Structure 1
């Protein structure tokens, strides 16, 4: 997973993540659903509350955050708390062996967390003092940092959800999932 530089200027780091684990999506509470679930025109618009959304990964980046150089490679955790999320899935039907299935062609997600906590281990090649200070700086300015790079997290999570949905929707016929 790669998250590009921020859009407003606070973060000038291309963030590369590997071995990404995402926790908390399945424990979300659905607040509202607007559904158009016809095979010819499939759209789900879902508002969720996620009490905790946690990303664990191996990271690698080199750049600048809030005008301060940052370099590191190691383990990280990004915790988002009390997240208002919106997910929009759009798709089209396709036929396979005489049955109709859905292909989610586009997923869009927005995340509005109440709080974000970053923890990057091994910043500055393991310099404990500099690493602790950078993590403190990130967390003290987490609202600004996440506002800048949040769209990258949203796009990456949308792709994950889209792929998860297609794993199901490509195997279970439309009529079995959504009996009319």
Structure 2
């Protein structure tokens, strides 16, 4: 069964709206597959254990976990993404369809901190390869005083020195068993380079299209300064949906040792 879902109300009310594709097994297992690390909440080195566990889990998530009803996340398919940026030097309406996010399998876990009492998880990761978003786009608006309009294929290549995530969990009891729900996700990153390619700008005028792509890439810092909150929201929604699929199926007593 193919399911589309909007993960949080926050993404429906302004800058960005995202619809993520997921495939759900009708009767998934609640047991962690072999290879996953389980940690004790009383371990004085809980953060290090969770970091190692996250790193061990990444290849499984990248390739999918059929027993948990989770399909591969590299590439991660975003069915629909809309960005409406109406303030500052970037004033655009931009929509994407069938966007694939590529190279998530190379994520490296660097730091994890878990507040057991308040169910708050903080983690920092690094990706040694570029994160790529490619698919179909449509844009209309103005970027740094220049008009821009077009519809076609696009590819965004993003290099980042650090990704940081904060996840607020909430325990819920289902039929006597405690699970976690994701109450909120915040995702930030420190960019080092953004390369943009949008085909068929200005109704296929190659000269104008090439010049606009050149202009966007020469001014990527200014562009990303305006759009980064939207892209961070995209990543937060995408990773939040992955986490939701996982936590819906695996109870607390399978994640942590007693």
Q: Does the TM-score normalized on the shorter chain lie above 0.5?
A: yes
The Cα shift of 1:106 comes to 0.6
User: In the aligned structure 1, how far is the partner of 2:225 from the partner of 2:194?
Assistant: 10
**Which stretch shifts more, 77-86 or 160-169?**
77-86
The Cα shift of 1:26 comes to 3.1
Structure 1 counterpart of 2:146, from 68, 85, 89: 68
User: In the aligned structure 2, how far is the partner of 1:75 from the partner of 1:163?
Assistant: 25
Q: What are the Cα deviations for residues 50-101 of structure 1, in whole angstroms up to 9, with x where unaligned?
A: 2321111211111001101000111111111133111111110111122111
Indicate the SS of the match to 1:139: helix
User: In the aligned structure 2, how far is the partner of 1:4 from the partner of 1:49?
Assistant: 28
**Which stretch shifts more, 42-51 or 142-151?**
42-51
Number of residues paired by the alignment? 177
Aligned pairs (5 A) from 1:75-114: 75-114=153-192
The Cα shift of 1:6 comes to 6.0
Runs of 4+ in 1 over 2 A off after TM superposition: none
Match of residue 153 from structure 1: 231
Q: Does 1:49 align with 2:129?
A: no
TM-score normalised by the chain length of structure 2? 0.66
The Cα shift of 1:31 comes to 1.7
User: In the aligned structure 2, how far is the partner of 1:23 from the partner of 1:178?
Assistant: 30
Aligned pairs (5 A) from 1:13-28: 13-28=92-107
Match of residue 174 from structure 1: 252
Match of residue 29 from structure 1: 108
User: In the aligned structure 2, how far is the partner of 1:123 from the partner of 1:11?
Assistant: 17
Indicate the SS of the match to 1:122: coil
| Greater share of strand | 1
User: In the aligned structure 2, how far is the partner of 1:6 from the partner of 1:35?
Assistant: 37
User: In the aligned structure 2, how far is the partner of 1:59 from the partner of 1:167?
Assistant: 27
Determine if contact 1:103/1:169 at 8 Å carries over to the other structure: yes
Structure 1 gaps, min length 5: none
**Which stretch shifts more, 21-30 or 153-162?**
21-30
Match of residue 199 from structure 2: 121
Match of residue 132 from structure 1: 210
User: In the aligned structure 2, how far is the partner of 1:178 from the partner of 1:15?
Assistant: 42
The Cα shift of 1:25 comes to 2.7
The Cα shift of 1:37 comes to 4.0
User: In the aligned structure 2, how far is the partner of 1:127 from the partner of 1:87?
Assistant: 41
Flag the structure with more relative contact order, 1 or 2, with Cα contacts below 8 A and sequence separation at least 6.
1
